[in-house]
Structures are given as C-alpha cells and as structure tokens.
Amino acid sequence: MTLQTNTMKAKFIIFAGACNMGVVEWPQGKPAVALTPGTVIAIPEGVKHWHGAAADTWMQHLAIHTQEQPGATNEWLEPVSEKQYSFK
C-alpha cells in the first residue's frame, strides 16, 4: 500500500469487507478511520491519503473521481508505514 494524491476530487464507497483509510493532510486534521460497508467518504484533490483492506480481512470498494480534467492523474508516493496502517 502506498500514499497517493489525486489531481481530482475522489469519493470512495465501501461495499463489503473492512477498509482502513488514512489521510495524512486532512485540512481539518482528522485521524485515520476504519470504514465499513455503506460508508461514503470524499477526499479533496491534492490531499495525501491511503486506503486498503484492514489487516485481517478484505474489502470491496468503488472509487469515483469527480471534476476530472484532461491530464488528471494519481501520484503514487512512499509506502504506508506500519504506524500509519495500524492507527498508532
């Protein structure tokens, strides 16, 4: 799992399993969260974040990018640390 940024807004919808999501640069300074089926979360463009299945399970999700412009990209960054992944 790696940290990433997007040049467009993104919404994540969790359908099944369990997802961990961390946002390194929330404008409001929110901590990492555990997401369950039915959760919808929005990530503003340019915000450094990560998401993946919880350590002991799997997950199914849909990522929707909004307000996408020509040339929009994801930038893949450094690996997520164990500390970030475990919410410690």
- Tokens in use for 59? 């997950």
Closest to 16 (Cα-Cα) out of 63, 64, 62, 59: 59
Q: What is the pLDDT of residue 31?
A: 66
For 16-71, the pLDDT digits (tens) are 988 888 776 655 556 677 888 998 888 888 888 888 888 788 889 998 887 667 87
Which residues, 6+ apart, have CB-to-CB distance to 5 below 8 Å? 45, 46, 47, 48, 49, 74, 75, 77
Is there a contact between 19 and 52 (Cβ–Cβ < 8 Å)? yes
pTM of the model: 0.75
Q: Which domains does the chain have, with CATH numbers?
A: 2-67 (2.60.120.10)
- Give me the pLDDT at residue 26, please: 58
Q: Which residues pair with 34 in a beta bridge?
A: 20
